[in-house]
Amino acid sequence: MNYKSKKFQLVSGDLIPFIGFGTFQIRGEQLIKDVLNWALSAGYRSIDTAAVYGNEHDIGLALKDLLPKYNLKREDIFITSKLSPSDQGDGARDAVVKSIQNLQCTYLDLYLVHWPGVSGIPTDSDVNSKSRAASWKSLIKAKDEGLVRNIGVSNYMVKHLTELLADCGGVKPAVNQVEWHPSCHPYDLKQLCDKEGILLQAYSSLGGTGNKNLLKDATVISIALKLGKSPAQILLCWALQQNVAIIPKARAKERIDANIDLNFVIDDEDMTLLGNRKSERYAWNPNTVQ
């Protein structure tokens, strides 16, 4: 399977690459330009950012210079950004406009509600559900205006997604971006997404930091050695073989190149072995948000 060119058809009919380039914690005008230069050269055509990442402006500057370098147009690139939890509510449409201005483009391909809660609001407050419902209505307006082609969510668990689908204004979320790796793979969530035609997109594919980094896991290393691949490639391919999209981030050219070079197959036995782990989240836990 050549995942480098594989795409998923969203509920809108638009196509999104299965492998995107993540930019979380990558900041600085020159660094952003360097990594995006290497990413475009390697074949990435999807870029993932968020308002809270603080790098939209630098991504916009970089793309303005880099797209002509690779004979690319705006429509050749799939750009995703996300709503800050501090902007939940009726003002979500205005947040889309701000991201568009920062990225120096005229529309976004995908815009996600980044978190099911609201900044500064207790997780057990019903303000959270009311605010995310208002956000969705506001994002539908942005979609109708052509500001964004697709809208979706991030960190939505089954309860949040079920709530949204029951009152989505006729517009299903196109994507649900969640923590997904061998130690965190809520299959009930994937089953719901598959049933509704929603693409599940993984973040934190390599696990956490320190001793929770799955790159150092003995099983991952053993399978990597057997296949002649890096531990990172094994973890990324593990998600892809389940039809879960990925957005790996990297700052070094060799890792950027390796993260999209995933044309191999992990056998069923090793796929099961990788997934048979104690369930553990390494990022935040959305289940706490009512």
Of the residues 53, 111, 156, 203, only one is catalytic, namely 53
**Spatial distance between the Cα atoms of 9 and 45, rounded to a whole number of angstroms:** 15
**Catalytic: 203?**
no
Phi-psi region of 61 (alpha: psi -120 to 50; beta: other; left: phi over 0): alpha
The annotation status of 160 as a binding-site residue, yes or no, is: no
Alpha helices in 127-250 (DSSP H): 127-144, 158-166, 187-196, 218-227, 231-240
Q: Tell me the Cα Rg of the chain.
A: 18
User: For residue 114, which of 248, 286, 288, 249 has the smallest C-alpha distance?
Assistant: 286
**Residue 213 CA to chain centroid, in angstroms?**
19
Q: Is residue 171 within 8 Å of residue 12, measured between CB atoms? A: no
φ and ψ of 167, to 5 deg: -150, 65
Torsion angle of alpha carbons 166, 168, 169, 175, nearest 10°?
-140
Binding-site residue ranges for substrate: 114
Binding-site residue ranges: 114
Residues known to be catalytic: 53
